[in-house]
Structure 1
Amino acid sequence: MAEEKNQEMTEETVETIFEEETEVNSSEQIETKEKEESDANDAIEELQKKLDESENRYLRLRADFDNFRRRVQIDREANEKYKAQSLVTNLLPAIDNFERAMQITPEDEQAKQLMQGVEMVYRNIIDALKQEGVEVIEAVGKEFDPNFHQAIMQGEDENFDSNIVIEEFQKGYILKDRVIRPSMVKVNQ
């Protein structure tokens, strides 16, 4: 009987120790699982942040590329629209000389024929420039506009209101919507 009691106590002690070890092991396992889950959640959050950063970077790069493409298209259109600007700028002094030459009154028949030839060449050049979108800036009788006129003198003329162009010294030209050269004018006070 004493042996049976001893054996029962030993079995109870073993069961108690086993239960305690099981509880310790299960609590350690729970802690380990919680730590693993926490580490996994941290890793997921880190990866999510990296993904978000990559997506933001991608969207910014795409927007930059779209803006670049739009700027290139605008530049290309402007270059096409104003391709004749340098040619027109270089031709303006020659046109001015043609206009001065046509102001001379020829005295003999040969000079009159030469003047007709000069006028024909002048008209051909002006027509070609008009086809490219070049227009003469209207000045005399118009209100002074610093966007189109360059005032080099002021004068008084009772026939014109104040701030009206009364005389043009040099013609101005526009290519499409861009001023190539402003008109040199005299403005009424």
Structure 2
Amino acid sequence: MSLETVVEDVRDEARARAEEIREEGESRADEIISEAEADAEEIVQQREEEVEAQIDEEREQALSSAKLTAKQKRLEARRDVLEQVRDGLEDRVAEVDGERREELTRSLIDAAAEEFDDDATVEVYGRESDEELLTDLLADYEGWSFAGTEDCLGGVVVESESSRVSVDNTFDSVIAEVWDDELKHISERLFEE
């Protein structure tokens, strides 16, 4: 074997080895590219799912917020209507006059009288425009007198220092009590719940 043959064999072997390394490198590069593309597709898919989930969550929050805002506006509107109804009721009660006012006021005084001893000295307060009516009605009650005005729609506030009792039988207190007791029914009738 000559030196040239040996050199040629070594060269052929080196070429074959280089070709083998190159093929392995290309194969490995193809594997890496394929893995990277698969990873990229998985990342894109995962990111799309995350974005969709975030969009759904934000849509749900916006919808929930809109529903809450609408509910609050409905409640405010109902509260305004109920307030108007109550104001109208108070206006109508304040306008009651004549025999009907006398009858209502007398029944409120009678109800308050049950809370006091017969010999008690009792002071009665009422609406300024009802002073004459109250003075006339109190003539029927021994030891009872008109003591001053009360800012109210009508009726009486009755007090006795000796028994330390105070009874609020104003139209205002009666309306408040009835209103509280009947608010659910009033709402149902107004808003057909």
Taking structure 2 as the reference length, the TM-score comes to 0.48
Normalized per residue, the structure richer in helix is 2
